[in-house]
Amino acid sequence: MNHVVDSNGSVQNLNGVLEEKLDELRALIGKAEGDPLRIVGIGAGAWGSVFTALLQESYGHLRDKVLIRIWRRPGRSVDRATAEHLFEVINSREDVLRRLIRRCAYLKYVEARLGDRILHADVILKDGFCLNMIDTPLCPLKVVTNLQEAVWDADIVINGLPSTETCEVFEEISRYWKERITMPIIISLAKGVEAELEPEPRIITPTQMINRATGVPMENILYLGGPNIASEIYNKEYANARICGAEKWRKPLAKFLRQPHFVVWDNGDLVTHEVMGGLKNVYAIGAGMVAALTNESATSKSVYFAHCTSEMIFITHLLTEEPEKLAGPLLADTYVTLLKGRNAWYGQKLAKGELSLEMGDSIKGKGMIQGVSAVKAFYELLSQSSISVLHPDKNKPVAPVELCPILKMLYRILITREFTVQAILQALRDETMNDPRDRIEIAQTHVFYRPALLGQKP
C-alpha cells in the first residue's frame, strides 16, 4: 500500500484518496458499477506517453473501476543504434532489469542488441520504453495499435498527437463515433497551431480541429499545458500545469489529475492558453540558434530574449483583450522550453550543422518539432493586410508581422529558406530594429486586439 505523510505528521492512505477521486469522476460521467472508466491516450510521443503512464501508475491498480490504454501506430522499427542504447539503459537500472526478467521480456532486448532481432516501437512501449524518450523508462503500458479498438467506447481521450496530425487522426476517429449516444471527454496536450486565411484570417488550434473533425462539443474538449519537461515530470520533479475549458469538466479533471509532485490548476480561457503554448515554440527555435552561434554567450542570449519576449507580448495584445493575465504562464513556458525543450534543441542542432532543414521536422528520438509549423502559421496569419496596425515610425498601416522582425527572419530561414541560420544574428544586430521596450509600449498604448484571429466575435 502507498502512504503519504502530510504536514501534521499524520499518515493517510494514498490508495484510498486515489480511489475516492476516481469514484467522484466515475459518478460525474455516469459510469455504472462494474463498468470501468475507459481512458485512452492517442499518440505515443514523450508527453503523451508520460501522461498516460502517470495515470497508469496512479489508478492502474483499480482494474475493476478504470482501464487505461494508449494507441500508437504499428510497424515503426527500432534501428540498431537505438536498440544498443536501450540495452544499456535497461542494464543500468536494476529495477527495470528485474521487471523485464520477471515478465520474461528481457531476451528480446538481448537479441536486438546482438542484431538478431528487430524491435518495434509499439512492442517496447508495452514494456515502458517510449521511442522518443529512451533514457526514461516508464511503467508498463497497455498498448493498442488498432485505432477503432482504442477509441470506440472511450470515456476520456487524451490527445498526445502533434497539431499537424491531429485533424487527420480525429477525422478517422469520428467514423467510429457515429453510433455513440454520449460524447467522450477529450483532453488535448498538443501545443502547435495552424493558420486559416479564408474566409478571414484566424488561428486554428488542436481543440478546434478536434471539434470540427468529430462534432464533439467544445464543452467536452479541454487543453492541458504548462512549463513542463516530460521526463522530469515522470521522475517526480515538482511541476504544475493548467487544464483549460468548460467549468463542468475542468474542475473535476484538475482534481483527478493532481498529484503531490504535479499540481494542476484550472482556467476557463481555453483557446488563448492553447495558442500561447504554440507561440513559445516559435521563439524557442531561434533561442537555440543564437545559443549555438554565440557559443552560449549569456549576453547574446539575453538580447535575443528581450526581443522575442517583446514580440510575444505584442502578439498577445493582438490575440486577447487581457494579455497581462497571460504574462506569467507564457514566460514560464517559454523559459523551460529555452532551457531544455526540443524546439530549442532543434535550433541548436541546425546552427551546429548536426541537422539540416532537408531532414524535415520529425526528428528521430525527439518526435515532431512543432515550432516549425507554428512559425509558418503565425507568419502567414500576421502578414494579412486585413488585420493591419499603425506603424509608430512610418505612421501608416502595416501588417503586424512588420513589427516582429525575429518572427520574419525565422520564417525566411525555416520556411522559405532564403537565409542560412546565421541570419538570426544579423536580425539581432540590425541597427534599424526598434528597442524591445518600444514594441511593448506600442502594444500597451494602442488598441490592437483582433478577436477574429481566434475565431471570436468582437
SS3 call for 416:
coil
Q: Give yes or no: 280 in active site.
A: yes
Catalytic residue among 108, 280, 366, 376: 280
Distance (Å) of CA 359 to CA 93, 256, 289, 298, 345: 33, 40, 17, 30, 15
Q: Is the dihedral of CA 82, 83, 86, 87 positive or negative?
A: negative
- In this structure, are strands 367-368 and 143-144 parallel, antiparallel, or unpaired? unpaired
Q: How far apart are CA 390 and CA 407, in angstroms?
A: 18
For residues 155 and 181, the answer to whether their CB atoms sit within 8 Å is: no
Residue with C-alpha cell 535550433?
347
Q: How far apart are CA 217 and CA 207, in angstroms?
A: 10
- 177: closest CA among 155, 208, 209? 155
- 413: closest CA among 279, 278, 277, 285? 285
Q: Is the dihedral of CA 103, 104, 106, 108 positive or negative?
A: negative
**Residues designated catalytic:** 280
